[in-house]
Structure 1
């Protein structure tokens, strides 16, 4: 057979040979971007010929199409209906107490009239049931971010959503809390107005000395701590203000190993992108921020021990289309950090990122939503010859999603085989209406 890459088109073609120097009509298969070069070989060791492609303008990225041995290729992952509006965030968890991982979506256009949450029950075999959608309380519009945790102490996962004030009203903007009855049914509590300055990001963590899970919210020129009363209602705690910082990304963990939760803030200005490390005092207040410079761009954050030396490190992605740079800031265990690795061109865009061990080597890996490339970029954590982590990453092929322009990503063992799979959402169409679909990339180990 002959295969040809098609420049300036989002597909590649397969022409099966007739054995006499002629070929059958071409079959077109979608790719994410304009094909630039192509290679053929048995990439997954199943005896069938597969295809690897690189793309114009993205020379550091490839993706693969796995052959079935008959001139056709394995289909893209199946999609599942996930709601009527675009999902901005996906979180996996056992929301209905059946020991199967489910997915909870936050819809970016939700308000009191349009569903804010969509719950997709998992079957444990890699498939999902029909979405169950939930409205917010009145006076809530345009969700920005969501945190999932047990906020009322009943050992079920609830959701806290930050968003803008409802159209036609005025600030403050509300916090919307949805309590879970343990069966995947979410009930909105009355919105709690806390924010005057455009909340953008939220993270759940234990900030003070009690056992309740609190919230840290990033808003224009400040972060605010919301202390949990133990019943999924919150009291406004201390606010940490900045002179020229609008937090675009938040993460929380114990970075200096003192038993208190610290907060990392990522933000971009017109001239630079910075990361602030705020060491917690255990009462909702923080020490003077430690400022770290990273490559300029739209910033996303993750915290894990990427170097394997004990202290937690920070992964930062900086996106300036058509390139994303990943930076690993190595933690020293006392709250200080140093730039260890800078990886250019890990993707074309980075809408969201999640961390987990996808290849089973006990090193944290990274999955990035590459929206402009219609796929998921995977970075595998590397080790050295002695088995120690290096803090570096090995780039993997771009994994094409079932639909165009994926929006968000989460990890979990959705098919029950012990390996972490990838679930992502993408745009779909229900008749003539914009909808959301969820698809999974099932993790398969090559013998």
Structure 2
């Protein structure tokens, strides 16, 4: 039952390797790449219970890749890399109920990686921020309330103030939440923007060519894409534009399909339809048209 995978050169041989989190045996396994697309099984590490998400960064400043693992038992596992493809367990942190995603990013502008985790249990739904100390440890978490059942989080500057903001997908409230960063690792309370039924994944790009960040949301239950056009200040026009996909999209990415046309199109992977949907950018601005 693989739940998450990240690509990185963990043994520093110039070739990409894989770290795979599997829920069935509750482990994180390293697969070492040979540069031809083939992989050899490396070491495997116990992950206590049901790892669901992985993030990679240098958490202790030794220039070697480390891993953060979000665990289903409301804990966060930190594995410190040795630079040879093996890892040392550093610490386990408790922080909330039912984690769904973890992302590594520098949110307080001290050049040290921090961790941002979404969790959405029966009692609470929030996004949690761990500020890194630079030695492989983290400060006590600070939580921000989200919509019900946050599924994932992206860290990026949405309002152009050069501070990192948070974009959270709320799976059971049919919207997304934006938290504006203050540059010190703290955030404003979230502002919500409607999507459609069952949002599950997002991608950000300038889809209409106005120099402002827009958001495309894959909606699993309504089987469509919501495109939210940005105003440039971190807010988005409502209602969103809607485009039909195959049944139950669960992932979306932005792609430029031709070198002579830099405008990003969109691709969704459709779970129940066993298809992908391709949307090509076209004029007038921000229109996106599907191609079967």
- Do these two structures clear the TM 0.5 threshold for a shared fold by scoring above it? yes
The alpha carbon displacement at 1:391 in A equals 0.9
1:130 is matched with which residue? none
CA–CA separation in structure 1 for the residues paired with 2:4 and 2:68: 12
TM-score normalized by structure 1?
A: 0.58
**Structure 1 pair 278/151, CA: closer, same or farther in 2 (3 Å)?**
same
Counterpart position of 2:161:
309
Structure with greater Cα Rg? 1
Q: Which residue of 1 aligns with 2:11?
A: 152
Q: Aligned to 2:59, what secondary structure does the other structure show?
A: coil
Q: 2:177 aligns with which of 324, 327, 334?
A: 327
Structure 1 unmatched ranges of 5 or more: 1-141, 167-172, 384-389, 430-435
Distance (Å, rounded) in 2 between the aligned partners of 1:427 and 1:265: 25
Give the match for residue 444 of structure 1.
282
Alpha-carbon shift at residue 176 of structure 1 (Å):
2.7
CA contact (8 A) 1:350 1:368 kept: yes
Q: Residues 380 and 152 (structure 1 numbering): CA distance in 2 closer, same or farther, change over 3 Å?
A: farther
Provide the C-alpha distance between the structure 1 equivalents of 2:249 and 2:54, rounded to a whole number of angstroms: 22
Structure 2 Cα separation of the partners of residues 212 and 252 of structure 1: 15
Q: Is the Cα contact below 8 Å between 1:341 and 1:391 reproduced in 2?
A: no
- TM-score, normalising length: structure 2: 0.86
Deviations 1:292-341 (A, max 9, x none): 11222343211111111011011122222xx4122211111111111252
The answer to whether structure 1 residue 355 and structure 2 residue 204 are counterparts is yes
Matched length: 282
Match for residue 250 of structure 2 among 383, 398, 407 = 407
State the Cα deviation string for residues 248-282 of structure 1 (Å, max 9, x = none): 12122100100001111111121331221110011
Structure 1 residue matching 2:6: 3-state secondary structure: strand
Cα gap change, 1:289/1:427 in structure 2, threshold over 3 Å: closer, same or farther? closer
Aligned-residue offset at 1:422: 2.0
Deviation at 1:444, TM superposition (A): 3.1
SS at match of 1:200: strand
Relative to structure 2, which stretch is displaced further, 149-158 or 415-424?
149-158
- Distance verdict in 2 for CA 1:355–1:213, change over 3 Å: farther
Q: Classify the secondary structure of the residue corresponding to 2:221.
A: helix
2:290 matched residue in structure 1: none
Map residues 130-145 of structure 1 onto 2, 5 A cutoff.
Answer: 142-145=1-4
Residue 442 of structure 1 aligns to a residue whose secondary structure is strand
**Residue 161 of structure 1 corresponds to which residue in structure 2?**
20
Unaligned segments of structure 2, at least 5 residues? 286-292
Note the aligned Cα RMSD (angstroms): 2.3
Q: Which secondary structure does the structure 2 equivalent of 1:189 belong to? A: strand
Q: 1:414 to 1:210 in 2, by over 3 A?
A: farther
- 1:197 Cα deviation from its structure 2 partner: 1.8
Identify if the C-alpha distance between structure 1 residues 347 and 205 changes in structure 2 by more than 3 Å, giving closer, same or farther: farther
Report the Cα offset of residue 362 of structure 1.
Answer: 3.9
Equivalent residues in 2 for 1:77-156, closer than 5 Å:
142-156=1-15
1:180–1:362 Cα change, 3 Å: farther
Matches of 1:335 and 1:394, distance apart in 2: 27
Name the counterpart of 1:226.
79
CA drift at 1:191: 4.9
Residue 279 of structure 1 is matched in structure 2 by 131
Shift of 1:358: 3.2
- Supply the distance in 2 between the matched residues of 1:348 and 1:284 (Cα, whole angstroms): 39
1:189 aligns with 2:33: no
Distance, in Å, in 1 between the alignment partners of 2:38 and 2:269 is 21
SS in 2 for 1:159: strand
Q: Does residue 106 of structure 2 align to residue 263 of structure 1?
A: no
Q: What is the Cα deviation at residue 346 of structure 1?
A: 1.2
* Greater RCO, CA 8 A, separation 6+: 1
**Deviation at residue 154 of structure 1 after TM alignment:** 4.3
For the 8 Å contact 2:17–2:39, the answer to whether it is kept is: no
